[in-house]
Amino acid sequence: MIKEMSRRSLMKKSATVAAGAAAAASLGKASTVFSAPAVIQDTGSTVELTYWTSFGSGVNGDAQTALIDAFHAAQSDIKISATPQEDYEAVAAQLITGLQTGDVPDIAILSDVWWFRFYLSQSLVDLNTLITDETNAGDYVQSLYTEYQRGGGQWAVPFARSTPLFYYNKTAAEAAGLGADAFSTWDALKENAPALIAEGGVAAGFGFSNAASYGAWALHGPVWAFDGHYSDPDFNILIAEPEAVTCGEFMRELVESGSAQAVADPQTDFMTGGFGAIIASTGSLGNITAGATTFEFATAELPSQLKFGCCTGGSGLSILANSPAEKQQAAMKFLEFCTNTENTTTWSQTTGYMPVRTSAIGSEPMQTFLADHPNNAVAIGQLPKCQPQDSARVFIPNGDQILGRGWEQVLVNNVPAQDAFDEVKQTLDEEKVAVLEQLEEIEG
């Protein structure tokens, strides 16, 4: 049995409130006035849209609220009624229930592991039916934009997009006489973790997360770095192959040696100085900056091994197929607003998520910001080397949790990686059958 680990809430400090206020001020200025859809102009009425989001508190929640307020300030034809949920999983769970009862929003934020499920149930609008020249779809970072394409359709636009990012306690590292190169490879991290503990004063050199905290996502890049895979694009499950198993054994031994720990919420332990390093989302940068107030930290690219490995992640904005046609047009205006050059720039600067437009990345405000905030620059520099995730995690329902529980067996229960991953492979092979059948029915 896998040991259950309870999740702890993120720290909420005064700095978080201040950062949120700054986000509101910036986003209030970053508004672009636009015309309402023709169907709204014809009726002269206000269209009210419901929006289910995962951003309700902290820096990211304040930034989301500021973005909606800015949208309302830019026009008066469309009103957004946002319902924050606890996280991406809560949004998806509520949507699954709502599709049975008819209680669904017009717009939903869907994570990398959830949008495909709603594509399979044909619950999403093909945005190609709503995209116009004003959308300027060619300006989206194409590696992020095309991840939502399937069967000739566009099922979301990128919004809160991220990659895993390596965070390390710079103060502790310097106390141990270590620089950034101490984390350049997994071998280097393993070699330097004891000094980080003994001389840097941390409880563990590295902190692993559990299944509920996206452990399988954080370890996706490391599996690639060891030349392994979770699966291939044709849903052949590869996690039990020697390369992925070698990665699993390396990480198991890192924990067994005392150099690393596996906990429910490594982000909190990092912010309180307990861990020397973690892998967390780029979208956690705003909250970590607000919470890690007793030491200096820095970000870096993920450690390499046989090669570099890092995947994309985060979420996009989708329109639900149950939404009436006139609301779909209005919803597209909101999607365009949230992801325009000005707003994706401010959103990125505030939260740490990726700017999703190439015009934003190359803009003078963004370049100036990155020069002054090197921690934010790392993820953007790393992006061209990132790849879309293996199909087993993002396309098989509950694939993330199945993989994550396998990693828990290895990291928490000290189960040999081959044994744990053999079980994961068997489960994923069973779960993929329904997906392949649905794809055959939808796409032929």
The C-alpha angle with vertex 131 and arms to 127 and 135, in degrees rounded to 5, equals 125
DSSP, collapsed to helix, strand or coil, labels residue 53 as: strand
Tokens representing 10 are 């993120």
pLDDT in tens, 241-259: 999 999 999 999 999 999 9
pLDDT at 57: 87
Torsion angles phi and psi, residue 311, rounded to 5: -105, 165
pLDDT at 411: 97
- pLDDT score at 40: 55
d(CA 301, CA 59): 23
User: What's the 3-state SS for 285-297?
Assistant: HHHHHHHCCCCCE
List, for residues 27-54, the tens digit of each pLDDT value: 544 444 455 555 555 555 799 999 999 9
**How are beta strands 164-169 and 277-281 bridged, if at all?**
antiparallel
What is the full per-residue pLDDT of the chain (444 aa) written as tens digits?
333 333 323 233 333 334 444 444 455 444 444 555 555 555 557 999 999 999 988 899 999 999 999 999 999 999 999 999 999 999 999 999 999 999 999 999 999 999 999 999 999 999 999 999 999 999 999 999 999 999 999 999 999 999 999 999 999 999 999 999 999 999 999 999 999 999 999 999 999 999 888 999 999 999 999 999 999 999 999 999 999 999 999 999 999 999 999 999 999 999 999 999 999 999 999 999 999 999 999 999 999 999 999 999 999 999 999 999 989 999 999 999 999 999 999 999 999 999 999 999 999 999 999 999 999 999 999 999 999 999 999 999 899 999 999 999 999 999 999 999 999 999 999 999 999 999 999 997
Report the CATH number of the 14-162+313-372 domain: 3.40.190.10
CA quadruple 200, 202, 204, 206: dihedral sign: negative
Instruction: Write the pLDDT tens digit of every residue in 69-90.
Output: 999 999 999 999 999 999 999 9
Domains 14-162+313-372 and 165-310+390-443 alike in fold: yes
Q: Which CATH class is domain 165-310+390-443?
A: alpha beta
Residue from 407, 398, 405 nearest 431 by CA: 398
The pLDDT value recorded for residue 169 is: 98
Separation of alpha carbons 275 and 372, rounded Å: 26
Extract the tokens encoding 352. 């740490």
Res 212: pLDDT = 85
- Say what angle helices 341-351 and 325-338 make with each other, to 10 degrees: 60
Q: Are 266 and 213 in contact (CB under 8 A)?
A: yes
Domain edges within the chain: 14-162+313-372, 165-310+390-443
Do 32 and 74 form a contact (C-beta atoms < 8 A)? yes
pTM of the model: 0.86
Query: What confidence score (pLDDT) does residue 36 get?
Result: 58
Strands 206-208 and 260-262 come out as: parallel
- Indicate left, alpha or beta for 289 from its phi (over 0: left) and psi (-120 to 50: alpha): alpha
